[in-house]
Amino acid sequence: MNDIALTVGTYAFTYAQVALGFAVAVILLLALLARSTARAAHERSLEAAAAAERAREFDEKVAEMARLQAEMHGRMQTMAEIFGTRQADLARLLSERLDGLQHRVGQGLETTARQTSENIARLNERLAVIDAAQKNLTDLTGEVVGLKEILANKQARGAYGQGRMEAIVRDGLPPGAYTFQATLSNRTRPDCLVHLPGDHPLVIDAKFPLEGFAAFRDARSEEARRQAAQRVRADVTAHVRDIAEKYLIPGETQDMALLFVPSEAIYADLHEHFEDVVQRAHRARVVVVSPSLLALAIQVMQSLVRDARMREEAQKIQVEVRRLLEDVRRLSDRVEKLDNHFRQAQEDVGQIRISADKIVKRGESIEALEFDDSEPSRPAIPSPVRAAE
């Protein structure tokens, strides 16, 4: 056993040492093997625990998934029921909407038909109005033709101008403020006299120089226009001269007269192209007026007449008020006299009542006296003061 079994460098080992070393090595190897086995067992136990935990977690997840699936199934059933209900409601709503739409469409069609019939009726009425207007237009055309014929005749044209002037005067003045075709002291007869309050009447004469103005408008050359202008000047000047010589009578009529031209167009042409004629008429104290200016002048005259009548009525009212004041003064004097009489009567009645009270008091005092039966009664002699009372 003490034999050298192994030599390593300078060291020599015997069999016993080698066997002991081998035994130690085997023991160490067994210890390492046991340790590794224990470690492997521990690791396997850990793995088994982890696997068990994973299995438990998996089971929990599977259970959770089953629960979620059950909830999902319930929700799907609920949603299916809700969808079914909503589908029924949607179908009912669509049916109601369709019914309402059909009703509104029916009402709209009925309203449209009614409006269409009303519009057709209105159209028929308007067509009837148009027919009446066309008839009136035809009548007016005939009247215009008749007016043209009237204007072509001097006498008829003069009657037309005088009639228009008379219509304006009648519309603006009261009946007593004008006179048509009155005769003046020189035996002339103007178309109208307007009686101004407290003054001489105003002369209005109607003239209508149409031919010269028609020729002046229709002139195509300067020579024809010049000749027509001369004719207009001559006609208007002659009318102005006739009015100034015949109707302006000092002390009988106003020192101004109105020349009525019953056409606004002629009046405008006269002032636009014949200003010298208008100025000559003004110098002759003749004012050319159109229908609108005559109506304005008539309104001014109406104001003057109304003011004059108001002054007359105011004077009458003043006279009546003065008389009323006199009556009131007399009534006041009589009332004052009656008041004095009543006051005097009241004072007399007061004096009478005082005397009556005194008499009553004296009677009461006499009644209160006591007389002796043995002495004869003597009448009481009143004092002078009491006798006087």
Task: Note the pLDDT tens digit of each residue in 274-289.
Answer: 788 888 888 888 888 8
Q: How many CA atoms lie within 13 A of 214 on its CB side?
A: 7
- Say how far apart CA 165 and CA 289 lie, in whole Å: 11
Region 158-316: CATH code: 3.40.1350
What's the confidence (pLDDT) of residue 386? 45
Paired sense of beta strands 178-180 and 192-194, if any? antiparallel
Read off the DSSP letter of residue 252: T
What's the confidence (pLDDT) of residue 211? 67
What's the confidence (pLDDT) of residue 389? 42
CA-atom Rg of the chain in angstroms: 71
What's the confidence (pLDDT) of residue 4? 62
Counting residues of the chain whose pLDDT is more than 90, the rounded percentage is: 0
Q: What confidence category does residue 143 fall into, taking pLDDT thresholds of 50, 70 and 90?
A: low
Other residues' Cβ atoms within 10 Å of the Cβ of residue 254: 18
- Tell whether the model's pLDDT for residue 149 goes beyond 60: no
- Report, as an integer, the average pLDDT of 247-268: 82
- What is the DSSP annotation of 58-105? HHHHHHHHHHHHHHHHHHHHHHHHHHHHHHHHHHHHHHHHHHHHHHHH
What's the confidence (pLDDT) of residue 5? 57
pTM: predicted TM-score of the whole model, two decimal places: 0.41
Range with the poorest average pLDDT among 22-31, 215-224, 275-284:
215-224
Tell me the per-residue pLDDT of 155-175, one tens digit each, with 9 for 90 and over. 544 566 777 788 888 887 888
User: Is the CB of residue 165 less than 8 Å from the CB of residue 262?
Assistant: yes
Which residue matches tokens 């909503």? 86
User: Is the CB of residue 304 less than 8 Å from the CB of residue 196?
Assistant: yes
Is pLDDT larger for residue 86 or for residue 352? 352
What is the residue type of 15?
Y
Q: What confidence category does residue 365 fall into, taking pLDDT thresholds of 50, 70 and 90?
A: confident
Mean pLDDT over the full length of the chain: 77
- Is residue 197 exposed (0-12), middle (13-18) or buried (19+ Cβ within 10 Å)? middle
Residue 4 tokens read as 């050298």
Other residues' Cβ atoms within 10 Å of the Cβ of residue 320: 10
User: Is the CB of residue 237 less than 8 Å from the CB of residue 280?
Assistant: yes
Beta-carbon contacts of residue 308 (< 8 Å; ≥ 6 apart): 197, 198
- Report, as an integer, the average pLDDT of 230-254: 83
CA distances from 80 to 65, 85, 86 (A): 21, 8, 10
What's the confidence (pLDDT) of residue 241? 85
Alpha helices in 263-290 (DSSP H): 264-273, 275-283
User: Is the CB of residue 210 less than 8 Å from the CB of residue 157?
Assistant: yes
Q: What confidence category does residue 108 fall into, taking pLDDT thresholds of 50, 70 and 90?
A: confident
Q: Where are the domains of the chain?
A: 4-113, 158-316
- Report, as an integer, the average pLDDT of 64-91: 81
Q: What confidence category does residue 10 fall into, taking pLDDT thresholds of 50, 70 and 90?
A: low
Tell me the per-residue pLDDT of 35-53, one tens digit each, with 9 for 90 and over. 888 888 888 888 888 888 8
What's the confidence (pLDDT) of residue 146? 44
Among residues 32, 37, 39, 1, the alpha carbon closest in space to that of 19 is found at: 1
- Report, as an integer, the average pLDDT of 109-134: 82
Range with the poorest average pLDDT among 19-33, 46-60, 300-314:
300-314
